[in-house]
């Protein structure tokens, strides 16, 4: 039985299955990628950019069909799925527009006579290991810049996303990408280990769980392969003061409930100063209670199911642990009756260090609210986590906001707005949230050979 299948999380019904690659097929794929590298890396930068422009165009032309696939595969609402497809198109277009500039030679000052510069070039075939929560967006932020550089891609997607994985491969083919410059592979974990070990693969990018990142990083290090790891997060949403609690609450709900709470950089811990804590909790609880879940194709649904029954059970185990140890459920805390991997929007308070919810990432529609005395306690609590992806801080004091931003041990900070993003803005974290950056100008620099070229003055 194949591990690659479409299990509709709204119904629990297995709708399609796809065969896992054989070992012989894996060997052939690696050779095809290696053979394609020579031609694709030698293609003019403007021609690579033209292909990515066409990829972006096709995403926009096929928005509805592509969106419907991921709604079936992982439960994203239709509106969110459409937004993700459009965002992926933006990423491909960003690198098509800016790639030539970002890859231009960089002149260096040198004390020796002559001219020195850095020339950026491709390194070879790369392996991408992608997650289910943003099937198109996650691939775009890996494949877009690296195809622009001239690297070739072997893409191992999540087992829950076989049809969107195949659809992406087809988009690249239809856009005129060189044959085998992007190859989808339905590989097992054991086969992935063999792919990483293969000398033809020059680097690995993983977006996923801390567990997956640790395993891949160990294998990559053993074989001297560069890695980029975009892993988990337990991002703080700090509210110190605000003239408009209702607006901040609206931001907080959106920050927690995006993609049914299944986002590594979603706000998960709401750290609120004592002076406005009670008002915030009251309004936040009311707003979260108003979130509706159900059929993700229904425009009236606020958020869809979690990706799987296993995910829903795992999240509820974290909630139940907290409640058993004294946490207060302000709203939610249960699963609706009937089929599907649905979980009620939940707000927990009085969470303490002995509870799993204090340290673990809550990957779903569950928010934890903490009361703090002021900025110092807020920063201490915000940093008291193994993760360091992002965070945001709300205060009318701009100087205090910047001070807090400097003290947060994270890769990203947003001031007086929920965490956002854009194709031009680097994404990544610190601590156990991973290493490396994606998107923006830094995203194109992760898998490049920065070759020094020096020409003497008399040459």
pLDDT at 2: 74
Lookup result for tokens 């070992």: 23
Mean pLDDT of all residues in 326-351: 97
Q: What is the pLDDT of residues 166-206, one digit of tens each?
A: 999 999 999 999 999 999 999 999 999 999 999 999 999 99
| CB contact set of 376 (below 8 Å; sequence gap of 6+) | none
pLDDT of residue 407: 98
Q: Check residue 112 and give its pLDDT.
A: 81
pLDDT in tens, 103-145: 999 999 888 888 999 999 999 999 999 999 999 999 999 999 9
β-partners of residue 226 are 203
Could you tell me how far CA 116 lies from the centroid of its own chain? Answer: 37
Beta carbons of 222 and 199 less than 8 angstroms apart: no
Q: Among 387, 381, 380, 390, which Cα is nearest to 413's? A: 390
- Considering the segment(s) 235-422 as one domain, its CATH architecture is 3-Layer(aba) Sandwich (3.40)
Average pLDDT over residues 367-385: 98
Separation between Cα atoms, residue 315 and residue 306, nearest integer Å: 10
Q: Is the pLDDT of residue 76 over 80?
A: yes
Report the distance separating Cα 232 and Cα 387, nearest Å. Answer: 7
- Closest to 434 measured CA to CA, from 224, 211, 221: 211
Q: What was the pLDDT predicted at 126?
A: 98
Q: Is the confidence at residue 1, as pLDDT, over 60?
A: no
**pTM here?**
0.97
User: Two tokens at 125?
Assistant: 């075939």
Give the Cα separation of 251 and 267 in Å (integer).
Answer: 10
Mapping DSSP onto H, E and C, the string for 179-196 reads CCCEEECCCCHHHHHHHH
Query: For 224-252, what is each residue's pLDDT tens digit?
Result: 999 999 999 999 999 999 999 999 999 99
Q: Which of 271, 275, 269 is nearest to 243 (CA)?
A: 275
* Token digits of residue 378: 């807020």
What mean pLDDT comes out for the span 402-409? 98
**pLDDT computed for residue 111 by the predictor:** 82
pLDDT band at 296 (very low <50, low <70, confident <90, very high): very high
Q: How many Cα atoms within 13 Å fall on the side-chain side of residue 251?
A: 22
pLDDT grade, residue 402 (50/70/90)? very high
On the question of pLDDT at 459 being above 70, the answer is no
Q: What number is the average pLDDT over the span 68-90?
A: 98
Tell me which residues are annotated as active site: 230, 264
Distance of alpha carbon 8 from alpha carbon 384, whole angstroms: 37
Q: Tell me whether residue 187 is exposed, middle or buried, using C-beta atoms within 10 angstroms of its C-beta: 0 to 12, 13 to 18, 19 or more.
A: buried
Does pLDDT of 401 surpass 60?
A: yes
pLDDT tens, 152-164? 999 999 999 999 9
Using pLDDT thresholds of 50, 70 and 90, give the confidence band for residue 16. Answer: very high
Q: How confident is the model at residue 334 (pLDDT cuts 50, 70, 90)?
A: very high
Confidence of residue 458 (pLDDT cuts 50, 70, 90): confident
pLDDT of residue 457 exceeding 90, the answer is no
Q: Dump pLDDT digits (tens) for 45-66.
A: 999 999 999 999 999 999 999 9
pLDDT > 90: percent of the chain: 97
The CATH class of 4-231+433-455 is alpha beta
Segments making up each domain of the chain, as ranges: 4-231+433-455, 235-422
Beta bridge mates, 108: 116
């Amino acid at each position: 039985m194949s591990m690659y299948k479409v299990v509709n999380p709204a119904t629990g019904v297995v709708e399609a299955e796809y065969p896992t690659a054989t070992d012989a097929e894996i060997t052939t794929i690696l050779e095809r990628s290696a053979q394609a590298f020579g031609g694709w890396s030698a293609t003019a930068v403007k021609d690579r950019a033209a292909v990515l422009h066409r990829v972006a165009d096709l995403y926009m032309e096929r928005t509805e069909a592509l969106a419907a696939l991921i709604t079936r595969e992982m439960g994203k609402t239709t509106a969110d799925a459409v937004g993700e497809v459009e965002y992926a198109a933006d990423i491909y277009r960003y690198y098509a527009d800016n790639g030539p500039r970002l890859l231009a030679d960089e002149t260096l000052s040198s004390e020796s006579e002559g001219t020195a510069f850095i020339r950026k070039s491709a390194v070879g075939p790369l392996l991408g290991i992608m997650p289910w929560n943003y099937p198109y967006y996650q691939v775009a932020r890996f494949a877009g810049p690296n195809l622009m550089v001239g690297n070739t891609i072997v893409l191992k997607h999540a087992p829950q996303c076989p049809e969107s994985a195949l659809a992406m491969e087809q988009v690249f083919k239809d856009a005129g990408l060189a044959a085998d410059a992007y190859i989808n592979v339905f590989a097992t974990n054991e086969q992935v280990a063999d792919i990483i070990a293969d000398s033809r693969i020059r680097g690995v990018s993983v977006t996923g769980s801390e567990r997956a990142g640790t395993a891949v990083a160990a294998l990559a290090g053993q074989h001297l392969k560069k890695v980029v790891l975009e892993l988990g997060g337990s991002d703080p949403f700090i509210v110190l003061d605000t003239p408009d609690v209702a607006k901040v609450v609206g931001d907080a709900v959106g920050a927690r409930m995006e993609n049914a709470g299944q986002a590594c950089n979603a706000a998960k811990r709401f750290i609120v100063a004592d002076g406005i804590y009670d008002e915030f909790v009251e309004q936040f609880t009311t707003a979260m209670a108003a979130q509706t879940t159900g059929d993700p194709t229904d425009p009236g649904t606020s958020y869809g199911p979690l990706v799987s029954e296993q995910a829903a059970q795992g999240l509820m185990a974290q909630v139940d642990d907290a409640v058993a140890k004294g946490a207060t459920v302000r709203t939610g805390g249960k699963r609706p009756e009937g089929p599907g991997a649905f979980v009620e929007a939940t707000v927990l308070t009085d969470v303490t260090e002995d509870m799993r919810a204090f340290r673990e990432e809550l990957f779903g529609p569950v928010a934890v609210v903490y009361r703090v005395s002021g900025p110092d306690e807020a920063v201490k609590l915000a940093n008291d986590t193994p993760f360091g992806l992002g965070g945001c801080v709300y205060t009318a004091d701009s100087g205090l906001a910047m001070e807090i931003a400097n003290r947060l041990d994270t890769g990203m900070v947003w001031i007086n707005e929920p965490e956002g993003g854009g194709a031009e803005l680097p994404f990544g974290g610190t601590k156990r949230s991973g290493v490396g950056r994606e998107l923006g100008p830094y995203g194109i620099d992760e898998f490049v050979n920065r070759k020094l070229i020096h020409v003497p003055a008399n040459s």
